[in-house]
Amino acid sequence: MKFENKGVQKFIDESIALCAPDKVVLIDGSEEQLESLRAEACSTGEMIKLNQELLPGCYLHRTAVNDVARVEGRTFICTEKEEDAGPTNNWMQKDKAYELLKGIYKGAMKGRTMYIIPFSMGAVGSPFSKIGIELTDSIYVVLNMAIMTRVGQNVLDTLGDSDDFVRGLHAKADLDEEKRYICQFPEDNTIMSVNSGYGGNVLLGKKCFALRIASYQGRKEGWLAEHMLILGVEKPNGETKYIAAAFPSACGKTNLAMLIPPKEFAEKGYKVFTVGDDIAWIRVGADGRLYAINPENGFFGVAPGTNAKSNPNALATTRKGTIFTNVVHNLENNTVWWEGLDKNPPKKAIDWKGNPWTEEDRANGVKGAHPNSRFTAPAKNCPCISPEFENPQGVPLDAIVFGGRRAKTAPLVYEARDWAHGVFVGSIMASETTAAASGAVGVVRRDPMAMLPFCGYNMGDYFAHWLEMGEKVTKKPKFFNVNWFRTDDEGHFLWPGFGDNLRVLDWILKRTEGEAEAVETPIGYVPRPEDIDLNGLDMTTEDVADLLTVDKELWKEDAAGIEAFYAKFGDKLPKALADELATLKNNLK
Ligand code: OXD
Ligand code: MN
C-alpha cells in the first residue's frame, strides 16, 4: 500500500513487517466499507445485529471474560528517563519497552487482517485537532473508532506530509493477561496496545492519545488535555456559559454533562447543552480567555444505571447507530438490557459472558450485564448536543469545576480564591472508596484533576504547567470544587444530585458574573445556604447549611493527607502549591 506521507509509509511498513498480517485494509470512512465490516463481524460472531426496528444500526459485542476494563497496572509511560514519567505512573525505559513489545507483536497478525484507521481528534482541520493512525486487527475497534473519532481519507489529506501524527499499534494477539501491555511513548508520539480487546485499552484515540499523549503534547505546545466534561448552560436571558468539570471515573460525568434542568429552572428558561462527557482540550484564545473542544465524536458510556430517569439523554443517544459491549442480550425481542435500565429484566436472555441468564441466576443476584458494560454512541444522536459541538474554535470557559466523592470533608461547593488556589484545589482532588469497590471502605484516594491514570508525564511538572498556563490567561475563569456525595451519619446522601446539580451550577455561574454572595472560609468561598436556589426542592435552608459546613478538624486531617501525597513529588512540587498548603494549614489554626 502506497502513501504520500513518508512518515505514515514508514510506520505502516514497519508494523506490517512486525505483525505479518495476511491482508491490509485502509479505512476510508465510507458507509459502504463500514457496512461490509459490520456484516463480516456478524458472520464470524464478533458482533450480533440487534432488532433493527427497535434499535436501528445497533450491535452487541462481548469481550473475553478476562478483558473487561482498563488495566492501570499494565499501563506504562515509556520514556528515556524514569523521572519524566514521575511517581504516579508505571514506567518502562523506552528502548527496553520496544524490545519487549516487539517480541509480543512478532507475527501477531498472521492469518488476520490489519486495518489502517486514519483518525482526527477534534473536527477535521480545527486548530485544536490532532491526527492519529491506529493499526489494528480488530473490526470491533474499527467500528468503535468510527463512532468515537472522525475517521477516513480526508484525515490523511489534512495531514498532508506532516510528521505530526500519533502512531497507534493495536494487536489482540492471544488476549493473554500476562502479556497485556498498554504502553505510551510520549517522546515518540507512539502508542502500543497488545493482548486486549476492551475499549479503554484499544480505542487508542481516547485515554491513550487524547489524555496521556496529548497531555505531554499540551505541555510542550502550551495547552491542556484534561479528563473533563464540557457543558453549556443557557440562561433565561438567552446567554450560554460554558463549564469544564473534572471528576474521577464513576462519579457521574456523563450524567452531569447531559443534565436535565429541574422543572422550575426549565420553566424559567434554563437549558443545558453537552459539548463533551469525558475529555477537554483547552487552549488560550487571542482574547486571553480559555477555549475548550471535546476531541471525541461519540460517547463511550457505562450502561448499568443509565435509564429514563437518571439520564434520559444518554439513553436516547443509544437508540441508533450504537455498539453495546458486555450488556445482556434480550432474546425476547433481540434488544439489550442492563441492571438499572428498568425493573423488567428479560425472562429469556444471554448474560455478558454469553451464557443463558436464568430466573434462578436473577434470584441469586447474578448480574446479567458486566458492571463496566458500555455503549459506544454517536455524539450527534444526543438530544442535548451543543450547537457548538463542531465549532473548530471551541467554547469559552467561565468556570472550571473539580469534584470527588467525599462523605464529610468537602462541602457541596466552594470557590477557589484565585488561579493558583484553583490549581491547588484540583491537585488535592480525592475520592473515598465505597463499599462497591473491593478493599477497605472510606480510604482516601488522591486523584489530581482526575488525571492520576491519564497524565502522560511527571505530575509535578503537570502542576507546574497548570500554574504557567494561568500566566497566559488574561481573562481567567473561576475555579470551584463540588461534592454531590456528602452523607449524614447513617450514610444517606444529603443532596439529591442529578438535575438538581443545576442549582449548584447556577450559583457557580452567578459567582463568575459577580451576582451571588459567598462567605470566606479556611478552604475558600462557600455560598450562604440562602444563595442556593431551592425553589421546587423538598429541602430547607437548614438542610443546605448542613451540606455547606467546613469542619476544621476533618480538614486538618485532610491537610496531613495532602502533605503526605505532595511528598511523593519531591522537588518537582511547585513552590506555589506548597505555599497554598501552608496557607490552608494556617487558615485552619
Ligand atoms: C472512562 C474512565 O472510561 O474514566 O471514561 O474510566
Ligand atoms: Mn473517563
For residues 105 and 192, the answer to whether their CB atoms sit within 8 Å is yes
Taking the centre of ligand 2 as the mean of its atom positions, its distance from the CA of residue 435, in whole angstroms, is 21
pTM above 0.95, yes or no: yes
Nearest CA to ligand 1 atom 6: 249
User: pLDDT band at 252, cuts 50/70/90?
Assistant: confident
pLDDT at 491: 87
Lowest mean pLDDT segment, chosen from 45-49, 196-200, 434-438, 546-550: 434-438
pLDDT at 109: 98
pLDDT at 435: 60
Hey, what CATH topology would domain 6-51+71-222 get? Phosphoenolpyruvate Carboxykinase; domain 1 (3.40.449)
Percent of the chain exceeding pLDDT 70 equals 99
Grouping H, G, I as helix, E, B as strand and the rest as coil, residue 33 is helix
Residue whose C-alpha is closest to residue 551's, from 473, 501, 486: 486
Spelled out in words, what is the top-level CATH class assigned to the domain 226-298+387-587? alpha beta
Structural domain boundaries in the chain: 6-51+71-222, 226-298+387-587, 300-381
Taking the centre of ligand 1 as the mean of its atom positions, its distance from the CA of residue 394, in whole angstroms, is 22
Please determine whether the domains at 226-298+387-587 and 300-381 fall in the same fold group of CATH.
Answer: no
pLDDT at 196: 96
State pLDDT tens for residues 173-192: 999 999 999 999 999 999 99
Q: Which CATH superfamily is domain 300-381 in?
A: Phosphoenolpyruvate Carboxykinase, domain 2 (2.170.8.10)
Best of 249, 296, 306, 429 for a ligand 1 pocket test (most atoms within 8 Å of beta carbon): 249
pLDDT at 125: 87
pLDDT at 442: 78
For residues 35 and 124, the answer to whether their CB atoms sit within 8 Å is no
pLDDT at 249: 83
**What does pLDDT average to over the chain?**
96
Residue 439 in this model has a pLDDT that exceeds 90: no
Taking the centre of ligand 1 as the mean of its atom positions, its distance from the CA of residue 249, in whole angstroms, is 5
Residue 313 in this model has a pLDDT that exceeds 90: yes
pLDDT at 434: 67
Residue 350: CB atoms within 10 Å = 19
- Cell for 368? 446479567
pLDDT at 330: 98
Residue 437 in this model has a pLDDT that exceeds 70: no
pLDDT at 56: 98
User: pLDDT band at 438, cuts 50/70/90?
Assistant: low
Grouping H, G, I as helix, E, B as strand and the rest as coil, residue 227 is coil
- Give the list of residues 6+ apart from residue 569 with CB closer than 8 angstroms, or none: 86, 87, 458, 459, 460, 463
Give the integer Cα–Cα distance in Å for 142 and 161.
24
Catalytic option among 19, 208, 251, 382 = 251
Residue 352 in this model has a pLDDT that exceeds 90: yes
Residue whose C-alpha is closest to residue 479's, from 245, 249, 222, 207: 245
Catalytic residue check, 251: yes
State pLDDT tens for residues 385-414: 999 999 999 999 999 999 999 999 999 999
State pLDDT tens for residues 73-117: 999 999 999 999 999 999 999 999 999 999 999 999 999 999 999
**Which residues form the pocket of ligand 1, taking CB atoms under 6 Å from any ligand atom?**
70, 200, 249, 278
pLDDT at 436: 54
